[in-house]
Structure 1
């Protein structure tokens, strides 16, 4: 009997083959091709952050990707990226198209430029939203979950629709104005991670509408920004399940800042997010609350090879119930599901121009960002305090 190779092995083999074929780089100057491959080990104690079954050391930390861009005309460029991911229980395993777009420079002058993006564009509204898809461009393997929620990775990375960017140089500094409108597909696996292991219906995103502005003062090493998000979702229940059709709305306001110097970098993002749920448990059930969160992160560059990172990340699911006491009193769900705080230390060593190893350790209090998000897994995630560590080796060209 012929043994069939598992699908995930086929996907990884195919992407690695593509990487090897494109490695020498494209012959035409109009083409640019890059790729990356990373593998790591990770362990989270006493919960399902990495694995649904146990908290043993896991190798579910694989990222392989290839991206290309083609300068078709002086003002029109096409770009795309295909990746294979295995992050355990953090998001769905498998291949996906992260972005596939047309970048059209509508107008440009000596001190300003206007670009239009059509297709599956990348989210450029947050500090790391446009670089989180490539391992060596992230400050850590696990990003601050208050903002960069892994369960929502594919939805937050990009959308199918239209985006505009306008950059303007002035006497007082540089301004970036960004706007986007689109939708993101949500898989069955993501539905389970978001709602419940017993949910068998479908989630559709009606739209996500974002706008942001970034400002870099003239002669300064600081950058300041604000971003706005409005998004609607719809849940279509399966006729065989106990849940009902539902509508949900997410509205976020976020402030951010970043400082860069030769040896220091500081980054922070602060947000408030209103989440409104109508339906699901019963046709008439509704819930409206405001979550708040922030992280503050510092990096010190000893030299071009070695970097130290320290970060504190805080998420409160309900700003009026920060320690979850009302959550436990009203629902019986342990109070520590109402928040999640994370202190992280990390070290990155770039031992070659295109090779890097990254290690980090996290101390968590609370489980408010563990899957599933709507109906918590109280049996598996039964520890208020827990730790996580990860080591990841990365290569790119």
Structure 2
């Protein structure tokens, strides 16, 4: 895996280990605090208030141990504040056993069991650590923060492998999992509101194939996922025990030079709602997302980024006009978002980083309904400015 993927060129230095630990035990952690100010609409708390929002912070502690050459245990606990969707509860971010049952000169095969990151696009595996993200906010057209818990990890089994040759390196990862669907964040994203019942996990499938040439100078990936969820109605719910199927297909490409990188990803997101009754008729539509991103490493300590990010909730109705016409009081711009982002990163030391970025957004398609409960109050054109400080050890 290229160092650019994990942290970005000179920013990916190996950190010193705490002392007095067994040789095969590694412990790392991170902490970050952000401030966000938006002209309209709320992101991670009341960012549209005069004082902005400090309700975006992340604390993580992870450990790994390799008692045998081909056996590793990994675990990470995370506490995350991100507006009303994440309120700082400590939870298991990932925890799994990794057994490599074949290692050869040109490749390897292995299996993982437990709670693992979903292999989705270039950034989902490492999006929890601020140092490994290309910006404060990832491209929201593909890496939704309003459904972060649902997308980032699942419980189950993964098979993985890698083959290396002079023509490039090919790796794959695929598995059978149960998605993490409990909580208000996922329910608000799936239904647009909260009910007394709750979502239930069903057997789902994840997969990704990567190709790299020249140690990561050129990278391609295809990710295919099928997340299946049910619904258990509560007292007084108008919904019946229906089902939701979410099937994203993501195509990823990246070129890395000595001082600059170009990245693009394109996604088709198929969504089906079935058997919820008259209150939520059956629906079946495919959304479309893409972004183009450029990063330039000005010096080993400074990096600039620019990105254009587009989300269409329904590709057959990209600007939401048909959807809004059928729903009184709803705005067409609730169904799309076009985001121009510019940002700057300053790596003060290998352990401490500052970031600042500006977003100019047309549309509200990726905003959380928990932080913005009245859709008619949302503004179509809005600005977002954010600052982040992060420390790791």
Q: Tell me what 1:180 maps to.
A: 175
TM alignment of 1:107-126, pairs within 5 A: 107-126=102-121
Range with greater deviation from structure 2 (350-359 or 241-250)? 241-250
Q: How far, CA to CA, are the matches of 2:109 and 2:385 in structure 1?
A: 42
Q: Tell me what 1:240 maps to.
A: 236
Q: Is the 8 A contact 1:245 1:283 kept in 2?
A: no
Deviation at 1:239, TM superposition (A): 2.1
Match of 2:351 among 350, 354, 357: 354
Superimposed CA distance per residue, residues 296-326 of structure 1 (whole angstroms, 9 cap, x where no aligned partner): 1110001110000001110001111111110
TM alignment of 1:1-397, pairs within 5 A: 24-51=18-45, 55-56=49-50, 57-194=52-189, 195-217=191-213, 221-280=217-276, 282=278, 285-332=281-328, 333-372=330-369, 377-380=374-377, 382-397=378-393
Deviation at 1:208, TM superposition (A): 2.6
Q: How far, CA to CA, are the matches of 1:202 and 1:367 in structure 2?
A: 26
Q: How far, CA to CA, are the matches of 2:192 and 2:284 in structure 1?
A: 19
Equivalent position SS for 1:326: helix
Q: Is the 8 A contact 1:26 1:32 kept in 2?
A: no
Change (3 A) 1:91 1:364: farther
Change (3 A) 1:197 1:231: closer
Deviation at 1:50, TM superposition (A): 2.3
Equivalent position SS for 1:136: helix
Q: How far, CA to CA, are the matches of 1:31 and 1:219 in structure 2?
A: 27
Q: Tell me what 1:11 maps to.
A: none
Unpaired segments of 5 or more residues in structure 2? Answer: 1-15
Change (3 A) 1:224 1:196: closer
Q: Is the 8 A contact 2:158 2:176 kept in 1?
A: yes
Range with greater deviation from structure 2 (278-287 or 107-116)? 278-287
Give the TM-score taking structure 1 as reference length: 0.89
Q: Is the 8 A contact 2:182 2:200 kept in 1?
A: no
Superimposed CA distance per residue, residues 96-116 of structure 1 (whole angstroms, 9 cap, x where no aligned partner): 111000011110001011121
Q: How far, CA to CA, are the matches of 1:220 and 1:81 in structure 2?
A: 27
Deviation at 1:229, TM superposition (A): 1.1
Change (3 A) 1:25 1:330: farther
Deviation at 1:120, TM superposition (A): 0.5
Deviation at 1:225, TM superposition (A): 1.3
Deviation at 1:168, TM superposition (A): 0.2
Q: How far, CA to CA, are the matches of 2:302 and 2:36 in structure 1?
A: 21
Q: How far, CA to CA, are the matches of 1:55 and 1:203 in structure 2?
A: 32
Equivalent position SS for 2:376: coil
Give the TM-score taking structure 2 as reference length: 0.90
Change (3 A) 1:206 1:26: farther
Q: How far, CA to CA, are the matches of 2:19 and 2:277 in structure 1?
A: 53
RCO greater where, 1 or 2, for CA within 8 Å and sep 6 or more? 2
Deviation at 1:47, TM superposition (A): 1.8
Q: How far, CA to CA, are the matches of 2:20 and 2:139 in structure 1?
A: 36
Q: How far, CA to CA, are the matches of 1:295 and 1:26 in structure 2?
A: 45
Deviation at 1:266, TM superposition (A): 1.2
Q: How far, CA to CA, are the matches of 2:55 and 2:223 in structure 1?
A: 33
Change (3 A) 1:284 1:353: closer
Q: How far, CA to CA, are the matches of 1:65 and 1:24 in structure 2?
A: 16
Unpaired segments of 5 or more residues in structure 1? Answer: 1-21
Deviation at 1:83, TM superposition (A): 1.1
Q: Is the 8 A contact 1:237 1:244 kept in 2?
A: yes
Deviation at 1:184, TM superposition (A): 2.5
Deviation at 1:143, TM superposition (A): 0.7
Equivalent position SS for 1:93: strand
The 4+ residue runs of structure 1 with deviation greater than 6 A are none
Instruction: Give the alignment's Cα RMSD to 1 decimal.
Output: 2.1
Q: Tell me what 1:18 maps to.
A: none
